[in-house]
Structure 1
């Protein structure tokens, strides 16, 4: 079944498609028409969808996607304001937006406002005049779309009219990278090459499992017909000595980069899982440039530690304990560190001297790119865990060498 295939993909690599519109504009019905199956609850009762609801789906040729069905833009009251805030947060991680308009009711301030928000976030979008079986779109509304350069389609979720055209338009809006197979490290080794993955097992490691970045790198090595060798940092030196020829690449957890850099010969390419994800998610050069701001931190500066997902905090947590300690030791400054976890990103970024982001394995690429762009727009340097660790450990140049940086 299409939905089961889409639900197997990691959340951070699925394209996010969000439907927004006023109450009873037919968002849920249109979602079902696009998907060709009942993935959203439909009711004539206004406000059936109250909070953003995620629906995994296999949308070919894009592959696994997540549809978000959201509350009505005209939701009122204190609770309605909270629901609108939730919708805006979903837009932050949206790759494609579909603005659904009841053709009979027509465009209003709510639709024009959300179009402005979507454009500010640089999200590809489509405006759909729904319920065309009941009323044709107003000529004034069509003229506004043309004058404003807003792409639009006409459809009826109830009869299926225009559903295929809407689906094709949504697919056409997909970012080019969504149609390409993303690369973590597949371009850094050849068929038959050996890639060594150094995976420390500490208190924060999930019992009986590897973390997602490690799993994805291992899968890419196998898909590229390479040989993956997985060791803990203590066994690395012996593993390298036992190899008949040097590995094409060594990838390590950032927390042990200093020891691993000492064990791996200088002529063997070396990087970290987090650095691979910095490139995989979109903007490694900007994150590298952001790390230079560590040298400029001053007493009393506040550093934002941004985590993509909430997790059980361990005694020696990487983002809350280790990196703050290493940065403080490296700079010798009296710094403050503030943690924000999950999809919430602070509105008042200007008060931070630096943003240090996690590897973003649970974020979609466009959400991470948007966060990086927002930091740049506000004049706030941004880097990520792995790049920052390599910087303060004095091995950043070596970690970046495989990428020609």
Structure 2
């Protein structure tokens, strides 16, 4: 991995009406022809993503969106996709055409942005064609309750001011949670169990494994990587007891058997359940499996798309395990990528992937929607540990989640 994953970058989304110059601003900010630009309204039909470095913020991803005033049946579908981008947006940029001004579209969008508690930067574009007076600008700012930056995406006038406004308004979290750094201290050892089989990407490790190694190094801890069949010999060769053993979920049973009980053990997926979402909510979702009955609907959601193996976790293994637990058939539905259905209330359980390809804001949005609909949700790693009877031990490093599982809170 030689680039920051998109899921770890600050998501900056550009919103506005058709032909307000959103794509041109993306191109000006990135100094590249990333987004297709045309005088024809509605050129951008689907969100366009561009990853870059924006100093002093660091890694960011800009998202170009379709116009919020699109028309017709297809246009309304595009508008819906635009508003869905808000669920993953860390900072919104509202672009207004200087010759058009503000209206109901901008006000409705701002209301939705504020509902999500997303910071926003206002931009008045096309000032090379139609500059507005200070009095008009102040009136617009008062009406919408935000500050605007004057720019011309064509001449790049004001783009440096826009970058500064983005930097000033970008959300920072000094207490940002680490993946594992709070569990393994400076100088301590973490043993990572990484099975290598046909599902492992050739020549590299999967993203969560890479990120855990980097997080351990960032916290001056020691990462020891081994395969499941070498774990016992690896532990015997160490001159100090590891602070934690972290396993891929598929090797849970062997790792549980080969790891002495006085060494804490968990999985990559459980670590990401905490890092990307709410581990307590996901553990409560595992408890809800006990209430499933034959015929219930179960949604399996993956945040990415990939080539499926013959014994695929989402379409083969999880359905098989759940059928065995309930003693009968269940009705399974699957979604992948950015899809997350509106009819969640129809399901008795949601099984979500680890979420390594989406940012925390989007994962938390999905968890909040499930909670609002009253539908329990669990992720792959928590479910696998539950099915294999090792969830109790895998939650020992997380006291609050452990108490949730034991029904103490």
TM-score (norm 2): 0.88
Alignment of 1:101-112 (within 5 A): 101-112=96-107
Structure 2 gap ranges (5+): 401-409
Q: How far does residue 196 in structure 1 lie from its aligned partner after superposition?
A: 0.8
The whole-number CA distance in structure 1 between the counterparts of 2:197 and 2:183 is 28
Structure 2 partner of 1:77: 72
CA distance in 2, matches of 1:291, 1:283: 13
Distance 1:69 1:128 in 2: 14
| Aligned pair partner of 1:174 in 170, 175, 182 | 170
Q: How has the CA–CA distance of structure 1 residues 141 and 77 changed in structure 2, closer, same or farther, with 3 Å as cutoff?
A: farther
Deviation at 1:277, TM superposition (A): 0.8
Shift in Å, 1:212: 0.7
2:199 to 178, 191, 204: 204
How does 1:3-402 map onto structure 2 within 5 Å?
Answer: 8-35=3-30, 39-132=34-127, 134-136=130-132, 146=142, 150-158=145-153, 162-177=158-173, 182-402=177-397
Q: Which moved more, 1:197-206 or 1:28-37?
A: 28-37
The whole-number CA distance in structure 2 between the counterparts of 1:399 and 1:44 is 57
For 1:305-332, what per-residue CA distance to the aligned partner results, in whole angstroms no more than 9, with x for missing partners? 1101111111111122212222232333
Q: Is the 8 A contact 1:106 1:138 kept in 2?
A: no
Could you tell me which runs of 5 or more consecutive residues in structure 1 were left unpaired when the two chains were aligned.
none
Q: Helix, strand or coil: the match of 1:355? A: strand
Is 2:277–2:367's contact at 8 Å kept on the other side of the alignment? no
**Do the aligned partners of 1:184 and 1:217 also contact (CA within 8 Å) in 2?**
yes
SS at match of 2:397: helix
Distance 1:292 1:171 in 2: 43
Inter-partner Cα distance in structure 2 for 1:55 and 1:137: 33
Query: Contact 1:204 / 1:317 at 8 angstroms: preserved in 2?
Result: no
CA distance in 2, matches of 1:218, 1:394: 27
- The change in CA–CA distance for 1:26 and 1:195 in structure 2 (over 3 A counts) is same
1:132 and 1:155 in contact (8 A); partners too: yes
- In 2, distance between residues paired with 1:245 and 1:78? 64
Q: Quote the offset at 1:370 in angstroms.
A: 0.9
1:103–1:138 Cα contact (<8 Å) kept: no
Q: Distance in 1 between matches of 2:286 and 2:256?
A: 19
How far the C-alpha of 1:167 sits from its partner, in A, is 2.9
Cα distance change on mapping 1:147 and 1:58 into 2, 3 Å = same
The number of residues matched between the two structures is: 398
CA distance in 2, matches of 1:137, 1:277: 50
CA distance in 1: counterparts of 2:167 and 2:175, whole angstroms: 13
Which deviates the most, 63-72 or 358-367?
Answer: 63-72
